[in-house]
Amino acid sequence: MTSDIISKSPKDYYLANHTTLKIGGKAENVYFPSNKEELCQVKDYLKTLNKEIHILGCGSNVLISSKGIKGGVIFTNNLNGFEFLDDKRIKCYSGVKSATLARALAKESLAGLEFLIGIPGTIGGAVTMNSSAHGHAIKDTIESVEFLDFETSEVLELSASELNLDYRSSFVETGKHFVISATFKLENGDTNQLLKNMNFFVEYRKKHHPPLSEPNAGSTFRNPAKGIYVGRLLEQLGAKGWREGGASVSNKHANFIVNSCNATSVDVLKLMHKMQSAVNAEYSYKLKPEIKCIGYLTREEEEIWQELTSN
């Protein structure tokens, strides 16, 4: 018998409004599991059909092809609970928004994750990318992660030392692992000071980053080396305002691409290639994309993406 999570799955579902860049065609099927059991049901069903599996939280740091995605998309929206395990430890499911967790911890006078207030994403994505800001990172407080291995169907738990957390990377591989939950160990803090720090982070983002009212996917490229900032390199090249079709480089921060006028995925990829090529020519840094590109790619898009991600 087919379960409700499978039988009620929406088909030919537009994804653009589920990404912060507001770009993306249709998915064959989408699923909104509410617990670990439903997640495993969806995974087993898609594997039986030999379908690709994609994960979406808030849809930041991702460029979805304007032609859509084949296979199934699992949304983490309904996996959004958290629980305090003791006075300093919290277990948080993958779909919890980063800012929501930051506020909840501040109310409990717990410090260590307040930097998440300015990051438009979910805990699943934050763990996968080892999110960081203002000198703080996920790796500073994470204790363990529970995940589903799509290849072996095992539900496993790894300690912080086993996660290989590094700059914008971890053990977790998109398309292979699904972060179910993460446990964090925090420190005692003063609520008023935490709220003050969080307000500073929010105001800093407003001042230096484009708002989400200007659709963007977050930072476009990773910084190539410690102390070397992509935004600064591109600004020195006069990149602010560069355009390809409906995509443009933000006038606030040169490492952000904004969807300024009905941009398509190929517009963004062309602009990324222009930015990468300019930095490589002037500074000899081959920038690595921080944005993930998924879906049906045209031949032109595939060629650009291969060039963007080649060593």
Cβ atoms of 150 and 177 within 8 Å: the answer is yes
Contact 42, 33 (CB under 8 A): yes
Hunting for tokens 């930015």 — which residue is that? 275
Cα 92-94-95 angle, rounded to 5 deg = 105
- List, in sequence order, every beta strand (DSSP E) within 136-241: 136-137, 142-149, 155-159, 177-185, 187-188, 216-219
Supply angle C-alpha 218, 240, 288, rounded to 5.
Answer: 45
130: left (phi over 0), alpha (psi -120 to 50) or beta: left
By three-state DSSP, how is residue 27 classified?
Answer: strand
Q: How many residues does the chain have?
A: 311
Nearest CA-CA partner of 25 in 302, 295, 298, 301: 295
**Which of 235, 256, 258 lies closest to 247 in space, CA to CA?**
258
From the list 131, 90, 116, 104, the residue with the least C-alpha distance to 197 is 116
The three-state secondary structure class of 179 is strand
- Catalytically active residues are 168, 219, 290
The number of beta carbons lying within 10 Å of the beta carbon of residue 309 is: 10
